Structure 1
Amino acid sequence: MFRLNLKIALRNLWKHKLVTAINIGGLSVALAAFLLITLYVGYETSYDASVPGRERVFQVCRSLPDSKTPYTPAALGQLLKRSLPDIEATGTVKKGGFDFAVTKEDRTYFTTDYTLIDYEGARLFDLKPQGGLKEPENDQTGQFYLSDAAFQLLFPKKRDNAPELVVLGSKSAGFTAPVAGAAHANPHSVLQYDALSVQKQLGSGEGFDSNNYFTYVRVKPGTNKSVLEAEITKLYRSALIGAGADAGSSEVKTAAIILDPLNNLHLKPAYGSDAPYKTVVALLALGMLILVIACINFTNLSIAQAAGRAREVGIRKVMGAARRRLAQQFIAEIFLQCLLAAALGLVMAELLIPRFNSVFQVPLTIRPFENGLLWKFPLIIIFISLAAGAYPAVVLSGFRPAAVLKGNFQTSAETTWLRKGLLVFQFTAAAVFIASLLIVSAQLRYMRTEDKGFRAEQVLAVTNMRIYSDPKKFEPARAQLLGIPGVRNATVATDIPDGSKTGTARYTISGKEIMTGFVNVDFDYFETLSIPIVSGRSFSPAFKTDTADAAILNERAVARFGLTDPVGKLIRGCDKTYRIVGVAKDAKAQGFAQAVEPTIYTMKNTCANPKVRILIKVEASEMLSAIAALRKRWPEINKGDGEFFRYRFLDEIYGRLFHKEEQLQQVFTAAAVLTVLIAMMGLFAYARYLIGSRNKEIAVRKVLGAGSFQLLQLFNAGFLKLVLLANLLAWPLAYLFMQAWLGGFAYRISIPLFPFLAACMLTVFLTLITVSAQAWRAMKASPAGTLKYE
């Protein structure tokens, strides 16, 4: 029986080669897309899966009146471990302020992500460096490690675990340090580094007013998170009072602690945007939708072929075949097609995965044992076979022999409505993706062209190891830089507009206190970035007190303080009083997703990190010659980096803030193409069947004088109504979906009408082309040949 069923299935598939090809092709494309998306979603949602007790590890964040921040004092971790028995382990992490060169003989590696971590934190994250994790003897001696790639580059022939001496920074500076070995940097972790320093303890001697560290805790099983947050908040407030803060101040009253789960940090941290999480959820929904559309396409085509199988069913029922046997036969045919589609989809996914990895910057591979595909993929095939084949099998096996053998077979009205409904669903999905793609593209275009409050073009961000917190130390370097032809401005600051958050502190004007971001800058900062001064003036060497107590507020800070004429007023924060000399235009330094924060710019700030971020503005026409001159003269300008002159263009750095949106644009492009392609394949086969079943009607109409245009109108009218209905359903869905997505941006477009009209016009145009091509083929047939046996 099995061999007979297999023969019948293969013969039927071969007999209807075109429809079979469309079914298998559509399913294989959908399966390839679904497979890649599920691999990506699995990768993105399993960060730090190897960390012991991952579900019990949290990052300690501070909740401020206006925002949340992951930055905490170094002393907080040790205080928590000493005071709260529910906390099993703590860890403290800090990002180094420098990028530097590591040199061994004639080989050099340039670090870009230097990280410091205490020994307890290294144990919490289960770091396993070469030679084993060793606890440093004291706070002054730590273990310095490099990433696997860096270590292999510098020591290609090393086989033992003995420390190696390397030069850090300029060779002429002569600063050396021992490298303990390689510490594998897991790319699948929120803890990233290419150079790592394991210390006995971080921030020794620092108080609770220095919030430059990340604190992690692992709690004991069964710990109540909400209760623990309340206990830590109470402990933190007491520590602030003990450090000298006024118990009645808003700084103490509003202080609150949030425990952010480790498995949330990558996609939806409490202190940042959840846009990456929304993107992953949207991708998962997209993958499932594409698979559903392919199943719908399969179902629709199978039902459309029902008339061609009616006599076969009638004869087999007369010969004694039970309905259950017939249903099994049709399910077997569908399973065979799904099996072929799965094999082809697997091949497509393997071919597409390098491009997919390049777009999403992930290291995915199709390895059955690692990704669980060995058991997941068969389940997917079985699910698709049942989802796509259950209803057609019930319909086909339910034909009545007496009716179909007399030749008056006709599918039920319910089946016809189902076919039309499935077709509408397919085109609704296609229209949603087309409109969404155009809206995402419009938002991206807006972010690229809208005024950011500063100009990043022609500005070089130079890697630097020297500290220029004192303006007098940077003045000689500035003079040398400005002496290079083509260099217009040069400055140094603690922060640049690259999307990173600035430090924050409480500042007060006339008794009103708000949490304010601070940036410590030098002369020419606003000129280098072309940030307009809307009132007052910029910092100038002509005013000697600017380096001591002058401040410039941005427009957002002025609005939050409720000032109408801020120039000349006093503002106090970080234990220092400043005089406001100007107001700068708001700069979208964190991108378009977050609103501009109130910010104060000063040239001297005790709360700020060291000034190490050098910015150089260069004339576009002299860019190449200026860069060559900078490279040549850098050893004398900046001895800390010496011969290692490295730079990046600021507009490229800022452009990385749009990377997720660019990924989403590419995803929607692929989704729109796939859904339209699958819908068109289904429409092609359905129109081919429907028009083929009306050949005699076409012949009669032609004999009675119907013209080609009238016949085209006749056949297109029904399909156009379905497509227009699909667009009417798609418009509110796309609007709501895009409205939710755009809600993640502080600065966004208003949704225009054009994307919806464009989706409608495109789907209508493709429908006209597809249906007309089939109708034209049928109309060219001779009426005599069609009607000669009637």
Structure 2
Amino acid sequence: MVRNYLLIAIRNIFRNKLFSTVNILGLAFGIGSALLIFLWVNDELGVDKFHANGDRLYRVMENQKYSDGKIYTFMSTPGPMAPFIKDKYPEIEKATRWTWQMSYLFQYEDKSFFEQGFYVDQDFIEMFSFPFVAGDVNTALKEKNSIVISEKLAKKYFGEEDPLGKILTLNTKTAYTVTGVVKDIPKNSSIQFEYLLPFHVFMDENKSWLDEWDNNNVRTFLLLAEGTNEEDFAKKFKYEIKEHVKETNVELFVQPFNESYLYNQYENGVQDGGRIEYVKIFFIVAIFVLIIACINFMNLSTAQATKRAKEVGLRKVIGAVPHQLFRQFMGESFLTVCLSAGIAFLLALILIPMFNEITGKALSLNMLDVKTLLIFCGIIIATAFVAGSYPALFISEFKPAQVLKGQLKSGSKAAVFRKALVVVQFSLSIILIISTAVVFRQMDFMQNRDIGFERENLFSVWAEGEIPQKYETFRSRLAAMPGIEAITASSQLPIDVGNSTYGLQWEGKDEDERILFSNMDVDYDFIQTMKMTMIEGRPFDRNLITDTSNYIVNEKAAAKFGFKNGTAGQDLTMWEKKGKIIGVVKDFNFGSLHSPIEPLVMRVNGGWRNCLLVRAKPGQTEAAISSVEKLWKEYAPAYPFKYTFLNQDWEEFYKAEGQRGKVFNTLAILSIFISCLGLFGLSAFSAERRTKELGIRKALGATVPGLVQLVGKEFALLVLIASCIGCPLGWYIMSQWLEGYAYHVEVGYITLVIAALICLAISMLTISYHSLKVAANNPVKSLRYE
């Protein structure tokens, strides 16, 4: 019986080559894209899930409440916190501090490279599951000059030699002994590093500011003891800062480390999504694409059902019951889906390198991996059930008497259902077209937005060697060299300012008022080099020694001060250093476009000129880079020369969003293509079914354009109905998405109209092929049809 069903299914596929090809290709594209997206989703959900103690790992977070009612959430915490609370609370088994990522120069013999890593406490390597391949995990970071490195770094510097005991020189000065080697960090870890250094070294070097409870600068992670109730501990721990700082606006809470990657966004002190939103979006879009492919299958299968009506009637006459026929046709659907899955797997195998490049992942289609196999099998089973169940039920319910008498009804209910499915299909396609257009416009807007200063011809170099100590000489010499228009320096990259404080005092300020201000140390020529606009007052002046005590603020900060007679000239004290506000600069974006511009205070501070900012003369960028490199070799000969353009840095900040945008756009194009495949098949069926009608109309004088219009009118109406559904839904969905950006484009009615017209135009072009083919036939041939 099974063999008989299989032969019939194969024969049916070859008998209806066009419809079988459309079905198989549509399902193949749908299954292939869903497979890649589900693998991506699975990878995202699996980030940081490999830690043995993952269910007991937490990171300490701060909620800081300010006078304007805003609550800011930070993961930075005081330096002394980790060891203190570890001793104080029995619920804490281990605690570690963790700095921001450091890029240091390491040397071994003739090898010299910059590497990325952290300063951490000994507890770090005991809390997190980064397996050691050499050394003792219990003591590796206890000694002052010890260092733990990755396998990759060990091979890079020492080849096949035993790395333990080898000496690496950091920044040409300090020698560190390799005491441990960890297995290369997996790609699905949010913590990526090539080396780990003892935190107590960092503490000794920066004790003046790191040892303060009201200075947030490092991250704190906890391993809670087994059986600890997270909520009870959080209540005890909430006001710990108040025990050390009399007047504080800080409340502490803990977030499970397993959630920190996906749920990393907070709004007004409350968890408000993060990367998990994109995981949900892509999961839903992949389901959309799969549904569109399934709709194609259902439509074409029910449209072709009448060709198999006699077969069903005869089977029922000789004793077949509906559930047997249902199983037969479900089996045929499953066979088609399996053929599609085979093609889909090959497509995914070919495209996965490109997909990995776009998404920044390292996914693989390893069918020996249980999760990958389950995902693939799950897609096949779900697709077969969704795509095949309705056609199988519809065909198995044919009445044998009506079939054999030739009285089978035209299938008006089935036709209505097919039209409804076409409307759903194109509604989803229109939503995806709108989404694609808005995502593209928003990405373009972010890349090209005027952020308050000129990014062109501007590149940055992080000061190394003797440059920080001899900056003035370096700057003067560089300014006179070829290609250089201007040079300045700052404590941070001007598009990524991370420091903030509420330690400001000004005349008229309420003593109880707490307002958070971002702060940045700059060189005298910062405003001029960046080509910013002064709204009031003047820039810093190198010839005025008093400017080392003065400040420049942005418009947002000036509004917070609320001075009635202008801001320039007013007194301002920051961290007990009194000076005057000498100018107000036009607001510029020094952070993400997701957030509005915050109040900013800038001051001249020669001790924090870490980032050199060089503006090249137009058309002389190469000469400017060569000039900097020439001086670099003189002042920092041991350090490799590295530079980045500010435009590149800006693009890098939104690289992940750009990657997601590319994936989203590809899925949208694919969904339209699959929809058109289905429409191509349906229009072929419709044209074939109306061959005699069109022949008679042509014999009676109808023109070819008129006949094409007649055939296309039915489908055009369906697309218009889909537009009425898809456009409002697309507008609502993308308006909600854009709310995640403080600065964004608007969806706009033009986008909706264009999306509907694109869908209509593509569908009409698809339909026209078969309509023209049939309408152009000689009426004699058409009337002889069948």
* 1:211 equivalent among 206, 211, 216: 216
Kindly state the Cα deviation for residue 41 of structure 1 after the two structures are TM-superposed: 0.9
Instruction: Note if 1:125 corresponds to 2:128.
Output: yes
Residues 128/725 of structure 1: CA separation in 2 closer, same or farther (3 Å cut): same
Residues 222/662 of structure 1: CA separation in 2 closer, same or farther (3 Å cut): same
1:245 maps to none
Deviation per residue, 1:645-668 (Å, 9 max, x gap): 211112101111222332233123
1:644 maps to 640
Instruction: Note if 1:621 corresponds to 2:623.
Output: no
Q: Would you say the 8 A contact 1:109–1:154 is kept in 2?
A: no
Instruction: Note if 1:509 corresponds to 2:506.
Output: yes
Q: Structure 2: state its 5+ residue gaps.
A: none
Residues 223/181 of structure 1: CA separation in 2 closer, same or farther (3 Å cut): closer
* 2:700 equivalent among 701, 704, 726: 704
Residues 468/255 of structure 1: CA separation in 2 closer, same or farther (3 Å cut): farther
2:437 maps to 438
Show the 5 A alignment for 1:397-436: 397-436=396-435
1:238 maps to 243
Aligned AA (2:372)? L
Instruction: Note if 1:337 corresponds to 2:332.
Output: no
Three-state SS of the structure 1 residue aligned to 2:223 is: strand
Kindly state the Cα deviation for residue 135 of structure 1 after the two structures are TM-superposed: 5.2
Aligned AA (1:260)? Q
Q: Would you say the 8 A contact 1:276–1:660 is kept in 2?
A: no
Show the 5 A alignment for 1:321-332: 321-332=320-331
Instruction: Note if 1:264 corresponds to 2:269.
Output: no
Judge which range, 256-265 or 769-778, deviates more: 256-265
What is the alpha-carbon distance in structure 2 between the residues aligned to residue 268 and residue 443 of structure 1?
A: 23
Three-state SS of the structure 2 residue aligned to 1:597 is: coil
Three-state SS of the structure 1 residue aligned to 2:515 is: strand
Three-state SS of the structure 2 residue aligned to 1:410 is: coil
Aligned AA (1:100)? Y
Three-state SS of the structure 2 residue aligned to 1:89 is: strand
Show the 5 A alignment for 1:590-669: 590-604=591-605, 610-636=608-634, 638-639=635-636, 642=638, 644-669=640-665
* 1:109 equivalent among 113, 120, 123: 113
Kindly state the Cα deviation for residue 680 of structure 1 after the two structures are TM-superposed: 0.6
Q: Would you say the 8 A contact 1:104–1:167 is kept in 2?
A: yes
Kindly state the Cα deviation for residue 140 of structure 1 after the two structures are TM-superposed: 6.8
What is the alpha-carbon distance in structure 1 between the residues aligned to residue 132 and residue 562 of structure 2?
A: 53
Aligned residues: 766
Aligned AA (1:482)? A
Aligned AA (1:431)? I
Aligned AA (1:75)? P
Kindly state the Cα deviation for residue 75 of structure 1 after the two structures are TM-superposed: 1.0
What is the alpha-carbon distance in structure 1 between the residues aligned to residue 667 and residue 126 of structure 2?
A: 43
Deviation per residue, 1:245-275 (Å, 9 max, x gap): xxxx4xx2x2111322212322331458845
Residues 571/228 of structure 1: CA separation in 2 closer, same or farther (3 Å cut): farther
Q: Would you say the 8 A contact 2:58–2:257 is kept in 1?
A: yes
Show the 5 A alignment for 1:119-158: 119-134=122-137, 141-158=144-161
Three-state SS of the structure 1 residue aligned to 2:620 is: helix
Judge which range, 396-405 or 231-240, deviates more: 231-240
Instruction: Note if 1:773 corresponds to 2:774.
Output: no
Kindly state the Cα deviation for residue 570 of structure 1 after the two structures are TM-superposed: 2.0
Aligned AA (1:154)? Y
Kindly state the Cα deviation for residue 486 of structure 1 after the two structures are TM-superposed: 1.7
* 2:166 equivalent among 154, 164, 167: 164
Residues 397/458 of structure 1: CA separation in 2 closer, same or farther (3 Å cut): same
What is the alpha-carbon distance in structure 2 between the residues aligned to residue 280 and residue 225 of structure 1?
A: 26
Aligned AA (2:349)? E
Three-state SS of the structure 2 residue aligned to 1:616 is: strand
What is the alpha-carbon distance in structure 1 between the residues aligned to residue 368 and residue 573 of structure 2?
A: 61
What is the alpha-carbon distance in structure 1 between the residues aligned to residue 170 and residue 203 of structure 2?
A: 22
1:561 maps to 561
1:571 maps to 572
Q: Would you say the 8 A contact 1:631–1:645 is kept in 2?
A: yes
Q: Would you say the 8 A contact 1:109–1:150 is kept in 2?
A: no
* 1:94 equivalent among 88, 93, 99: 99
Deviation per residue, 1:58-93 (Å, 9 max, x gap): 211111224211111121112221222222321110
Three-state SS of the structure 2 residue aligned to 1:297 is: helix
Judge which range, 609-618 or 674-683, deviates more: 609-618
Judge which range, 401-410 or 262-271, deviates more: 262-271
Kindly state the Cα deviation for residue 329 of structure 1 after the two structures are TM-superposed: 1.0
Three-state SS of the structure 1 residue aligned to 2:482 is: coil
1:57 maps to 57
What is the alpha-carbon distance in structure 1 between the residues aligned to residue 58 and residue 764 of structure 2?
A: 57
What is the alpha-carbon distance in structure 1 between the residues aligned to residue 47 and residue 275 of structure 2?
A: 13
Deviation per residue, 1:511-530 (Å, 9 max, x gap): 24411111111221222222
Instruction: Note if 1:480 corresponds to 2:477.
Output: yes
Residues 45/201 of structure 1: CA separation in 2 closer, same or farther (3 Å cut): farther
Aligned AA (1:78)? P
What is the alpha-carbon distance in structure 1 between the residues aligned to residue 245 and residue 136 of structure 2?
A: 34
Q: Would you say the 8 A contact 1:468–1:610 is kept in 2?
A: no
Three-state SS of the structure 2 residue aligned to 1:267 is: coil
Q: Would you say the 8 A contact 2:492–2:520 is kept in 1?
A: yes
Aligned AA (2:124)? G
Q: Would you say the 8 A contact 2:430–2:759 is kept in 1?
A: yes
Judge which range, 340-349 or 200-209, deviates more: 200-209
Kindly state the Cα deviation for residue 717 of structure 1 after the two structures are TM-superposed: 1.0
Aligned AA (1:342)? A
2:525 maps to 524
Deviation per residue, 1:410-445 (Å, 9 max, x gap): 343322211001101111111111111111111122
Kindly state the Cα deviation for residue 130 of structure 1 after the two structures are TM-superposed: 4.0
Residues 152/271 of structure 1: CA separation in 2 closer, same or farther (3 Å cut): farther
Residues 467/518 of structure 1: CA separation in 2 closer, same or farther (3 Å cut): farther
Show the 5 A alignment for 1:336-375: 336-370=335-369, 372-375=371-374
Aligned AA (1:525)? F
Deviation per residue, 1:594-649 (Å, 9 max, x gap): 111211111249xxx9432222222132221222232222132x33x545221111
Kindly state the Cα deviation for residue 552 of structure 1 after the two structures are TM-superposed: 1.1
Deviation per residue, 1:344-378 (Å, 9 max, x gap): 11111111110010001111111123351223322
Kindly state the Cα deviation for residue 716 of structure 1 after the two structures are TM-superposed: 1.1
What is the alpha-carbon distance in structure 2 between the residues aligned to residue 364 and residue 141 of structure 1?
A: 39
Show the 5 A alignment for 1:164-183: 164-169=166-171, 175-183=174-182
1:246 maps to none
* Percent identity between the two aligned chains: 28
Q: Would you say the 8 A contact 1:436–1:755 is kept in 2?
A: no
Kindly state the Cα deviation for residue 733 of structure 1 after the two structures are TM-superposed: 1.0
Residues 376/434 of structure 1: CA separation in 2 closer, same or farther (3 Å cut): closer
Kindly state the Cα deviation for residue 310 of structure 1 after the two structures are TM-superposed: 0.9
Deviation per residue, 1:528-586 (Å, 9 max, x gap): 22222221111111211112x11111111112232341212222232322321111122
Three-state SS of the structure 1 residue aligned to 2:368 is: helix
Residues 578/222 of structure 1: CA separation in 2 closer, same or farther (3 Å cut): farther
What is the alpha-carbon distance in structure 1 between the residues aligned to residue 347 and residue 496 of structure 2?
A: 37
**TM-score w.r.t. length of structure 1:** 0.92
Q: Would you say the 8 A contact 2:145–2:175 is kept in 1?
A: no
